[in-house]
Structure 1
Amino acid sequence: MKKMLLCTTLLFSGAALAGGGSSMPGGNTIAAIVSNDPNFSTLLAAVKAAGLVETLSSPGPFTVFAPTNAAFAKIPAADLTALLNDPAQLKAVLLYHVVAGKVTASQVMGMSSGTTVNGADVRVSMMDGKVMINDSTVTKADIMASNGVIHVIDTVLMP
């Protein structure tokens, strides 16, 4: 299977990755879209706990595979609580959901893998006419933001 890696053209500064701040993002950024959609309340809490609100509000562009509340609910409660209370591990998991650059659904479908911002690759495949990211199904694609694109997934990706 041909492996396609996305070129990481976006350089993250230490300050940007440190993120911080818990104010509600504005505009049409990825962070703002997530903060205004009740289906992403767990993701929003995780992004805030990991200090990534500022990063996902920055110019990007980013492609985010965004797990819904139902996706987070698949994680055993004790494991989810432990993850939310471990900022370093949480940041690693969340950055595994982000690819540098704006990758639309049509581009994703032509890939076999992509390199995430945390440095690890995700597997991209098709199953029953649906796009799969590792073992997660893309349930909604191409939610356009001013700093990238969101693809909704049904399972939290673990690096």
Structure 2
Amino acid sequence: MPIPTKPLKTALLAAVAATTGLAAIATTPVSAHHHNSANQSPNIVQTAQSTGVHETLVAAVVAADLAGTLSNPGPFTVFAPTDTAFAKLPDGTVATLLRPENKGQLTNVLVYHAVSGSVTSSDLVNLINRHGGEATIETLAGVELTARLSGDTIVITDAAGRATAVTTADVNTSNGIIHVTDGVFLPG
């Protein structure tokens, strides 16, 4: 059973439309020095900025103009590839995606890493067990990922059959959850 994505998909599609000139939405500038109340944890973007291992992901989110959207209340679940994961891509892939003329393609790759709602590792394991060893997850890109267990590790397989492990699960943020991955999902 796919996890529903409609509320966030609408927001991200609005952001995509804005980048193509079809609509306008307000975005919040990304800054490493956001002021949160003492009781509020950082949002997804702020958390990714602070890890030291998601610089490529943050640069891509900024280049795709998705930082404001991913700073909104959500909730969102983001499978966040590390810099090492991006470095595993063929030479030139990241640089090509970051070019302004490839913004649409970059946006598609990024929304392929996001799911509407807060989906914990326990939720994923329960779905996997309930569905006979694997569960599909509908991403905001409208493409499904497949989750399985390999021992105690959640492994996510993209549409092209590339398997990626969740290396750190359940990083809670003010607007959702981050699961750190050792690979990048590429649609198709």
Give a deviation string over 1:101-147, Cα, whole Å, max 9, x none.
00001001123110001111101111132101110000000000010
Partner of 1:63: 77
Contact 2:2–2:136, Cα closer than 8 Å, also in 1: yes
Check if 1:154 corresponds to 2:182.
Answer: yes
Q: Distance in 1 between matches of 2:126 and 2:6?
A: 20
Tell me, which stretches of 5 or more residues in structure 1 are unaligned? none
- Measured after TM superposition, the shift of residue 55 of structure 1 is 0.7
Return closer, same or farther for 1:131/1:47 CA change in 2, 3 Å cut-off: same
Alignment of 1:1-150 (within 5 A): 4-11=1-8, 12-13=10-11, 15-17=14-16, 18=18, 22-24=29-31, 26=34, 27=36, 28-85=42-99, 86-111=102-127, 112-134=135-157, 135-150=163-178
Q: Structure 2 counterpart of 1:79, which letter? A: T
Q: Percent identity?
A: 40
TM-score by length of 1: 0.91
Distance 1:9 1:61 in 2: 12
Deviates more, 1:48-57 or 1:23-32: 23-32
Structure 1: distance between partners of 2:137 and 2:2: 5
Q: Aligned equivalents of 1:50 and 1:62: distance in 2?
A: 17
The code of the aligned residue for 1:24 comes to: S
Aligned partners of 2:137 and 2:176: how far apart in 1?
Answer: 16
Note the residue ranges of structure 2 that are not aligned, 5 or more in a row. Answer: 19-24, 37-41, 128-134, 158-162
- CA–CA distance in structure 1, aligned partners of residues 178 and 152 of structure 2: 19
* Cross-structure match for 2:131: none
Which protein shows a greater Rg?
Answer: 2
2:70 & 2:47 partners in 1: Cα distance?
10
Regions of 4+ moved over 6 Å: none
- Counterpart secondary structure, 2:146: strand
- Partners in 2 of 1:21 and 1:8 — Cα distance? 22
Once residues 141 and 151 of structure 2 are traced to their aligned partners in structure 1, the CA distance between those partners, rounded to angstroms, is 29
TM-score normalised per structure 2: 0.77
